[in-house]
A = this chain, B = another copy of it.
């Protein structure tokens, strides 16, 4: 690890007793912290510190840091003004508290003066071995351990523990990312925001996730890399462990780079270099929050394909053309079917249907179920991934269930990824059905096929590496 050891960070991310310096009844921060902790199932305790009150949100407050119980506090969350951060760190250190989550803003993101203040902060933490997250961040949620030291108010949905790590330099944006991932019923291991990164960087967090033995997919929102060497090492080790790294890196545009600078004081760098570096390191670059969540979902639920050839089966000729255009846009191959498959499909489809890829089974071609059609495609050696039509049932009595279930039993019989492609509007029932089966599915073909292309490219990267 870089400046911090894995064990240091492990301790930092699993506190039981958390002081909250600057907790106040006059703003939302402490309330947010409590709400998030409740949601995460946190079993530990909070110790608000405020010189003017006896309690905050019904929890006993301490007037000063020195009043805190000795040797008990694992982590301090700082909500105080930037001008008194250094003296507060000093008081914490005297109390033996060296794990600090610094939420306060007013550092490098505000200009030159703040930049100097942040440098002094860094120097202090380095000299005194303080583990510091922030400033200008929202904290973290350790979903696997049920620990939350997070003061954002925008994460929505149930916190599902799982295998996706989420790192964000921007608090607000990463809250949206976490929300979108959870909304897809994809579980998250750790969610970490790093803000201005006076000490702990996104690269450090990625490194931690690569080695934590629980995270299988890493996602990041990045405004600026601070340590390209570490990024290289992390990406190399991630590839060795077959852990895909998915990054939304802003700054393609000049305006985007400026926004990054005034936000977390980042210098966003030349974007073409980022593209080249990512390609070399096998890092998957995405362009939007939606694409990031979609890509996390496909890696969570899909085996890696052996090649880049997709077989699609739908029941609208118009959609065949639409899908074909999108596949070409994203570099997904739609090879011709093998002769034996054409023969078999000839016997299965109505006379006027033409066995091809994409395959239009036609309106009357699927009435007896898709079992044999999907089986023929699964056994076609030209195809590496199969995307069969899925018509979302409204409920368990909907006849559409039959169509879909006709091929579900085949899915575990083969190593090829099977990705249902939704025809008609999605229903809650169907969504749950597919989630329960652990299947990734394509709802919006543009973003869905882009995610498929990421899966293909990553599998190819690992093959070339081996």
Interface residues of A (CB under 8 A from B): 105-106, 109-110, 114, 154, 156-157, 168-174, 176, 179, 183, 221, 223, 248, 250-260, 262-264, 268, 287-291, 315-322, 324-329, 334, 352, 354, 356-358, 360, 362-363, 423-425, 444-446
Contact = CB atoms under 8 A, between A and B. Distances in A.
Given A263-B360, A290-B446, A360-B262, A253 B325 contact: yes
Contact of A446 (B114, B157, B287, B356): B287
Contact of A318 (B254, B263, B423): B263
A15 to B, nearest CB: 24
A136 to B, nearest CB: 9
A253 to B, nearest CB: 4
B110 A183 contact: no
Given A156-B424, A176-B319, A263-B317, 12 more contacts: A157-B425, A171-B318, A172-B317, A173-B318, A176-B316, A176-B423, A251-B325, A252-B329, A255-B325, A255-B328, A259-B317, A291-B446
Contacts of A264: 317
A137 to B, nearest CB: 11
Given A110-B352, A316-B170, A318-B172, A328 B263 contact: no
25 contacts: A105-B362, A156-B424, A172-B315, A172-B317, A172-B319, A173-B318, A223-B321, A248-B322, A250-B322, A252-B329, A253-B327, A254-B328, A255-B358, A256-B320, A257-B321, A258-B324, A259-B321, A259-B356, A259-B358, A263-B320, A264-B317, A287-B446, A288-B444, A288-B445, A290-B444
Nearest to A248: B322
A262 to B, nearest CB: 5
A66 to B, nearest CB: 30
A114 B351 CA distance: 12
A268 B289 CA distance: 35
B328 A259 contact: no
Nearest to A446: B288
Given A352-B110, A424-B156, A322 B253 contact: no
Integer count of this chain's copies in the complex: 2
Nearest to A317: B263
Contact of A325 (B250, B317, B320, B326): B250
Contacts of A445: 288-289
Contacts of A290: 444, 446
A389 to B, nearest CB: 10
Contacts of A223: 318, 321
B221 A328 contact: no
Contacts of A259: 317, 320-321, 324, 356, 358, 360
A181 to B, nearest CB: 12
Contact of A105 (B263, B318, B352): B352
A262 B250 CA distance: 42
Given A253-B327, A318-B169, A356 B179 contact: no
A178 B310 CA distance: 28
A266 to B, nearest CB: 9
A220 to B, nearest CB: 12
Contacts of A360: 259, 262-263
Contacts of A321: 223, 250-251, 256-257, 259-260, 263, 268
A360 B329 CA distance: 34
Contacts of A352: 105-106, 109-110, 114
Contacts of A171: 316, 318
A252 B328 contact: yes
A48 B291 CA distance: 50
Which of A172, A221, A255, A318 has the largest number of chain B CB atoms within 10 A? A318
Given A179-B424, A255-B334, A262 B444 contact: no
Nearest to A168: B318
Contacts of A268: 321
A157 B289 CA distance: 28
A297 to B, nearest CB: 15
A267 to B, nearest CB: 13
A262 B257 CA distance: 47
A174 B321 CA distance: 13
A260 B316 CA distance: 11
A430 to B, nearest CB: 13
A168 to B, nearest CB: 7
